[in-house]
Amino acid sequence: MSQRLGEPRRPVRARRPMVAVPIAWIVAVSVVDVLAPPHIHLGPLLVAAPAITPLFGGPWTVALVAALAVIAQTAIGVLRDPDELLSANHEAQIVALILVGASLVVFCVVRERRAKELRQVRYVSETAQRVVLPPLPSRLGPLRTASLYLAAEAEAQIGGDLYAAVRTTSGTRLIVGDVRGKGLTAVNDAALLLGAFRVMAGHRAGLGELVRHLDRSVCGDLADPARHGEAFITATVLDIPDRDGRVRMVSC
């Protein structure tokens, strides 16, 4: 069996080649600004370096780039106005860089905290789904079985898909279905139906009787007035006898 249910993902670390981009920008702006005529000031362009860093880096990387931008702006002020050390214009630009850098660091911290919470919730949901959909055995009587769970989208791995197989005295019964919706609610509905199927599949004589029992088992929960929107489950139940070549199927 193969399942695309991922492990909790770690935060993306800043890549060294990408970090070189804002650093190179700081160096280029600083050199050009120092060599430019007195009436041309390129220092305000330094703010672009910390501004683009959150695209690929975390709070520490943003803080480093912002600090380098502040140092560069200070150096520009000293080199361009050696007599006055720092002009009011350069001081204002330095303060602006500090404020922008601090704001971006706070943004990155909040973003990473939120991403961590989402990863934890997703990991719990995926673990619950793995419990609901355990691997099928390679053989069920004379049948060779296998199963594959593939999400419709790479990021939508928590859904209400369900399947199970149960041996009976005369053959094998299988169920394949889908619960409307996603998330833990869908996983809970799938677990409810699969639990009823595993308990009753070997004790009901006909598929019709089994399907009616499954319907009664989940109707009460699906009709809960606390739910938002319509709730239903579609499923196909198969009865595959060991000796008889006819396969019986009920879709509901």
User: What are the pLDDT digits (tens) for 91-100?
Assistant: 888 899 999 9
Task: Please enumerate in sequence order all residues whose Cβ is within 8 A of that of 144, keeping only pairs 6 or more positions apart, or say none.
Answer: 138
Identify which of 27-31, 192-196, 225-229, 240-244 has the greatest average pLDDT.
27-31
Which of 127, 155, 171 is the last residue in one of the domains? 127
**Dist CA 145 CA 134 (whole Å):** 13
Host domain of residue 114: 16-127
Q: Is residue 10 part of a domain?
A: no
- Whether the pTM exceeds 0.75: the reply is no
Which is nearest to 133 in space by CA: 167, 163, 175, 171? 163
Which is nearest to 199 in space by CA: 185, 188, 213, 178? 213
CA pseudo-torsion sign 99, 104, 110, 112: negative
pLDDT band at 226 (very low <50, low <70, confident <90, very high): low
Q: Is residue 204 part of a domain?
A: yes
Which of 127, 161, 180 is the last residue in one of the domains? 127
pLDDT band at 158 (very low <50, low <70, confident <90, very high): low
Of 48-52, 144-148, 153-157, 206-210, which gets the smallest average pLDDT?
153-157
Which of 127, 161, 176 is the last residue in one of the domains? 127
Q: Is residue 224 part of a domain?
A: yes
User: What are the pLDDT digits (tens) for 91-143?
Assistant: 888 899 999 999 999 999 999 999 888 888 778 767 776 777 777 888 888 88
Query: Do 119 and 153 belong to one domain?
Result: no
Query: Do 105 and 212 belong to one domain?
Result: no
Q: Is residue 45 part of a domain?
A: yes
Cα-flanking dihedrals φ and ψ of residue 54, to 5°? Answer: -60, -15
Query: Do 58 and 113 belong to one domain?
Result: yes
How many domains in the chain?
A: 2
Q: For position 60, what pLDDT does the model report?
A: 92
**Dist CA 8 CA 11 (whole Å):** 10
User: What are the pLDDT digits (tens) for 12-23?
Assistant: 454 668 888 999
Q: Are 252 and 232 in contact (CB under 8 A)?
A: no
Q: Are 133 and 127 in contact (CB under 8 A)?
A: no
* Antiparallel, parallel or unpaired: β 171-182 and 233-241: antiparallel
Both structure tokens of 29: 């702006």
Q: Is residue 1 part of a domain?
A: no
